[in-house]
Amino acid sequence: MNTQVRNKALMLRWYDQLWNNGNESIVDELMHPQCRAFGLGPEPVIGLAAFKQFYREFVAAYTDISITVDKNLTDGDYVISLCSVTATHNASGRPVSFTGTSLCQIENGKITSAWNHFDFLTMYLQTGKVKAEELE
């Protein structure tokens, strides 16, 4: 199996095992200890402990998380995943549905960098955290 096929499979496994099945141990297996993840908050998430904190806060706020990888494209050590996300916001009970894109660099079978562009604004509008009139 060539590197690009392995990297695509790694990303599919990441979304399925971590996000769809709640298997947090996959973080240790697939993420480099010094991984830098951008776009998950105002500051980069650096390292396994910081990513696990982000993950735990997200799954505490949302249940029934389902991420479908609509398209997985590779270019060398990079994988671009176009995703559709659904979940339920715990505090409001409201369903959320939004899309996003991640660009991950993979080296030696580990995610070393990730640039995330998920439509969190739509998610916040759907939960009521942000009101549409506040955007006018």
C-alpha to C-alpha distances, 111 to 16, 27, 46, 85, 121, nearest whole angstrom? 15, 9, 12, 21, 26
When the pLDDT of each residue in the chain is averaged and rounded to a whole number, the result is 96
Dmax over CA atoms of the chain, in Å, equals 51
Tokens 């009101």 map to which residue?
131
For the domain spanning 3-135, the CATH number is 3.10.450.50
Give 86-108 pLDDT, tens digit per residue.
999 999 999 999 999 999 999 99
pLDDT recorded at residue 1: 67
Q: Domain coordinates of the chain in residue numbers?
A: 3-135
Q: Can you list the positions of beta strands (E) in 11-61?
A: 31-38, 45-46
